[in-house]
């Protein structure tokens, strides 16, 4: 276990909102637990009578009373006695043996309203249907993607993206395949083709790689879909990773392979557009994850590509796939980013990109109204509070764990080389809680629960979020490679073995969100527009509620080789409606929806810039507003 992780993992501070009992006794005409409104939904036994919130008769008639959520085990008058954030690890519901798992998804592939589980492992592809109540059914064979039916098309599975490629209304599956570096050798076919599975609309996936024009071999890593040429259908970028047949130990960062850009010519048939669009990164870069999103709000899909040990590639789209590579004009040397996610972390209405890093501190890029990037990670976490270096971070989720209206961050890391001394550094699971004090946003690293998993070493790669139990808060899925490759040809890797992976973190797992949310509300937004791209991949959504603003981007491929649930999820705090929701559709058209009620909603595109009409005057929008 890393001593750095142990130091923050065990320093979890408990805060209590206990009102002074003397004040309660002095206020005889007050009929609730405590003196102040809200004490019937704070998880505290404010009047010391051993009854909490709704279980206390004093709370009769309270407008925000919530049910009891736990026991006062430590006698501090607080129900959830270890703090507000609590994630509970679950392995058994998946029913799978430890595997070499990388990309994961929590996308509702059968579209019954519950996110399902997808895992890409070297042993194959696995689909688990969510039955509700934390029960899952293995439907891999039913969907035709087991190794018997799909054969080599699912072996060496690496990354997963669910997306409607052919605009027929159902979700197809794009699977990146990749051999692990230390598994490569004589007789191994290491350059693999991705696999495109087309959904036949009857719960069966059929191989369509060859007919779609995507049967191209490579050392593929991250992929993303987006409208790169402005014709509304979804194009594709796939990044090239380390060439495992090169001397990659001796030339780190420059032993990579070319990426590819593919133009969707219609109905899910692709042609190579790499030379035309010229934004697949350096030919020899070791690239990892990629985001396709509109950074500057001009209605064109831009690209952010994570390159190892060299400047990242960021290309701004000037229309119709005409990209401007910023490498020559902006410093993009942010270490060695691996995983990427996007959202508005500091509430300024601009898109931020969070990058987990290899051996260096993580990075957060804020694309401001002046068209410049600002690195804001260190200002968010504060001096001396960072836990991201020297581990090798991968999957990442920007989200709102406790529904308080700001953005929190969860990320995972894997065993890799410590860049400072060339030893093996185990990975970790890290959680940073977002706070906004006045206008100053911050991220504070805390342990997200008392379980041993949160202080254990990890070899985790994929990470996805989604509301698995339909309770309004987000849960998580983590993909674990149970073999951290501590040896190379029988000899300790790099000449020095690292600690073995502990059993507690040796299998892929779920994280059930049991955080105490104080009765806060959520808003889960599904977007719909006329096809092509009916699900509005690439749209950005900004929400004003609980006295603050935040945003998310609907990406198709993010985190690390993974896919989050498609509805965009926001916390509203104690508000029961969002003051307004701004949708910037993939082509840049903006709509404002006012007074959007909490819960699960579908926002459908229309020609009206304001819904309902006449309710949007005085609303200040835009990056930096």
Domains within the chain, CATH numbers bracketed = 34-71 (no CATH), 101-513 (2.130.10.10), 521-611 (2.60.40)
| Distances 264 to 5, 497, 624 between C-alpha atoms, Å | 45, 46, 34
Placement of tokens 């109540």 in the chain: 133
Distance of CA 92 to the CA centre of its chain: 23
User: Is the confidence at residue 208, as pLDDT, over 60?
Assistant: yes
According to DSSP, residue 306 is labeled E
Contact 296, 304 (CB under 8 A): no
Which pLDDT value is given to residue 52? 67
Looking at per-residue pLDDT, the higher value among 64 and 425 belongs to 425
Contact 600, 564 (CB under 8 A): no
Mean pLDDT of the chain: 86
User: Is the confidence at residue 134, as pLDDT, over 60?
Assistant: yes
Sheet strand arrangement including 509-513? 87-90, 509-513, 475-480, 460-466
Looking at per-residue pLDDT, the higher value among 137 and 497 belongs to 137
Supply the pTM of this predicted model.
0.87
Sign of CA dihedral 414, 417, 418, 424: positive
User: Is the confidence at residue 156, as pLDDT, over 80?
Assistant: yes
Which pLDDT value is given to residue 482? 95
Sign of CA dihedral 218, 222, 225, 226: negative
User: Is the confidence at residue 20, as pLDDT, over 80?
Assistant: no
Q: 211: cis peptide before it, omega within 30°?
A: no
Q: What is the average per-residue pLDDT within 453-459?
A: 97
Which pLDDT value is given to residue 81? 36
| Distances 306 to 115, 157, 174, 393 between C-alpha atoms, Å | 28, 21, 20, 12
Beta bridge partners of 559: 340
Burial of 48 (0-12, 13-18, 19+ CB in 10 A): middle
Distance CA 544, CA 550 (A): 7
Which pLDDT value is given to residue 223? 98
Beta bridge partners of 583: 541, 591
Q: What is the average per-residue pLDDT within 201-209?
A: 97
Placement of tokens 């992929």 in the chain: 223
Burial of 276 (0-12, 13-18, 19+ CB in 10 A): middle
Q: What is the average per-residue pLDDT within 246-270?
A: 87
- The CB density around residue 71, as the number of other CB atoms within 10 Å, is 10
Contact 555, 571 (CB under 8 A): no
**Chain segment 37-63, per-residue pLDDT in tens:** 456 665 666 666 656 666 777 776 665
Q: Which of 184-193, 253-262, 581-590 has the lowest mean pLDDT?
A: 184-193
Which pLDDT value is given to residue 624? 73
**Chain segment 462-479, per-residue pLDDT in tens:** 999 999 999 999 999 999
Which pLDDT value is given to residue 327? 78
Instruction: Quote the tokens at residue 260.
Output: 């590819």
Which pLDDT value is given to residue 67? 52
Instruction: Quote the tokens at residue 574.
Output: 């104690």
């Amino acid at each position: 276990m890393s001593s750095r992780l142990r130091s923050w993992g065990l320093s979890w501070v408990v805060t209590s909102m206990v009102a002074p009992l003397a004040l309660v006794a002095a206020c005889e005409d007050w009929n609730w637990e405590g003196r102040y409104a809200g004490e019937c939904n704070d998880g505290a036994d404010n009047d010391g009578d051993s009854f909490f919130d709704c279980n206390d008769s004093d709370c009769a008639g309270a407008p925000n009373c919530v049910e009891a959520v736990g026991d006062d085990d430590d006698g501090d008058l607080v129900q959830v006695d270890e703090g507000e954030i609590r994630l509970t690890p679950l392995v058994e519901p998946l029913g799978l043996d430890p595997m070499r798992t990388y990309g994961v998804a929590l996308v509702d592939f059968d579209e019954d309203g519950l996110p399902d589980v997808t895992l890409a492992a070297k042993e194959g592809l696995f689909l688990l249907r969510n039955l509700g109540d934390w029960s899952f059914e293995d439907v891999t064979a039913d969907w035709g993607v087991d190794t018997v039916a799909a054969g080599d098309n699912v072996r060496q599975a690496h990354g997963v993206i669910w997306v409607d490629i052919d605009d027929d209304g159902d979700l197809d599956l794009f699977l990146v395949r990749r051999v692990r570096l230390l598994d490569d050798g004589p007789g191994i076919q290491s350059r693999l083709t991705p696999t495109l599975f087309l959904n036949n609309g009857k719960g069966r996936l059929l191989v369509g790689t060859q007919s779609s024009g995507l049967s191209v071999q490579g050392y593929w890593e991250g992929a993303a879909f987006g409208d790169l040429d402005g014709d509304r259908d979804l194009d594709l970028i796939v990044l090239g990773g380390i060439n495992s047949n090169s001397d990659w130990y001796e030339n780190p960062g420059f032993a990579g392979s070319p990426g590819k850009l593919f133009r969707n010519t219609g109905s899910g048939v692709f042609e190579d557009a790499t030379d035309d669009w010229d934004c697949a990164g350096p030919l020899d870069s070791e690239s990892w994850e990629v985001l396709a999103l509109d950074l500057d709000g001009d209605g064109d899909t831009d690209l952010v590509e994570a390159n190892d040990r060299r400047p990242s590639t960021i290309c701004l789209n000037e229309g119709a796939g005409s990209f401007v590579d910023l490498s020559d004009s902006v410093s993009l040397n942010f270490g060695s980013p691996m995983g990427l996610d996007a959202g508005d972390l500091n509430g300024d209405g601009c898109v931020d990109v969070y990058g987990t890093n290899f051996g260096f501190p993580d990075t957060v890029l804020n694309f401001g109204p002046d068209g410049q990037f600002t690195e804001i990670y260190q200002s968010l976490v504060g001096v001396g509070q960072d836990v991201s270096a020297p581990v090798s971070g991968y999957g990442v989720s920007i989200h709102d764990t406790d529904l308080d209206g700001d953005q929190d961050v969860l990320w995972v890391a894997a065993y890799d080389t410590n860049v400072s001394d060339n030893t093996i550094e185990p990975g970790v699971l890290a959680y940073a809680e977002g706070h906004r004090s006045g206008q100053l946003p911050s991220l504070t690293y805390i342990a997200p629960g008392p379980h041993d998993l949160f202080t254990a070493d990890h070899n985790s790669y994929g990470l996805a979020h989604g509301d698995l139990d339909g309770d309004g808060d987000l849960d998580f899925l983590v993909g674990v490679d149970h073999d951290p490759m501590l040896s190379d040809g029988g000899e300790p890797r790099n000449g020095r073995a690292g600690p073995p992976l502990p059993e507690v973190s040796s299998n892929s797992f779920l994280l059930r969100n049991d955080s105490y949310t104080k009765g806060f509300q959520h808003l889960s937004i599904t977007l719909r527009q006329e096809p092509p791209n009916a699900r509005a991949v690439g749209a950005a959504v900004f929400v004003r509620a609980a006295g603050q603003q935040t945003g998310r981007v609907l990406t198709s491929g993010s985190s690390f080789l993974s896919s989050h649930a498609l509805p965009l999820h926001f916390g509203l705090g104690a508000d029961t409606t969002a003051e307004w929701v701004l949708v910037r559709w993939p082509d840049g058209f903006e709509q404002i929806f006012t007074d959007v009620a909490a819960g699960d909603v579908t926002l459908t595109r229309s020609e009206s810039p304001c819904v309902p009409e006449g309710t949007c005057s005085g609303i200040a929008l835009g990056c930096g507003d």
